Amino acid sequence: AQKITQTQPGMFVQEKEAVTLDCTYDTSDQSYGLFWYKQPSSGEMIFLIYQGSYDEQNATEGRYSLNFQKARKSANLVISASQLGDSAMYFCATRDDKIIFGKGTRLHILP
């Protein structure tokens, strides 16, 4: 069965610093996808970035990049030059047939 682990329940980071949110996964499938979502206080789940298990290059989307280390089963999210608006809950997820979400990391950006 799939499993996602996010070991950081909360993080405090100074504005403009880079942030790394940890995520490890467990799946027996060879083909799978990895996702990160952002959930601000409004509650909406905003899709940030996707990495396929066969993608050789790490995915990037603007200030977001996914540090994919397949051998370690790790899919950390890196946010460069953090902004106050990055304060939110962040969920890592994986899917083969269904999406499984981690418990999330609450990120606080300090001015």
Partner 1 sequence: SQTIHQWPATLVQPVGSPLSLECTVEGTSNPNLYWYRQAAGRGLQLLFYSVGIGQISSEVPQNLSASRPQDRQFILSSKKLLLSDSGFYLCAWDTAKGLETQYFGPGTRLLVL
Minimal distance, residue 35 CB to partner 1, in Å:
6
Q: Are strands 64-69 and 74-79 parallel, antiparallel or unpaired?
A: antiparallel
By CB under 8 A, tell whether 59 contacts partner 1. no
Q: What is the maximum alpha-carbon separation in the chain? A: 42
Q: DSSP letters of 11-66?
A: EEEETTS-EEE--EEE-S-SS-EEEEEEE-TT---EEEEEEETT--SPPEETTEEE
Minimal distance, residue 5 CB to partner 1, in Å:
12
By CB under 8 A, tell whether 62 contacts partner 1. no
Contact residue for partner 1 among 7, 12, 14, 45 (CB under 8 A): 45
- 104 torsion bin: left (phi>0), alpha (psi -120 to 50), beta (else): left
Per-residue mark of binding to partner 1, 13-42 (x: CB under 8 A): ------------------xxx-x-x----x
By CB under 8 A, tell whether 11 contacts partner 1. no
- Name the site residues for partner 1 (rule: CB under 8 A): 31-33, 35, 37, 42-47, 50, 52, 91, 95-96, 98-99, 101-104
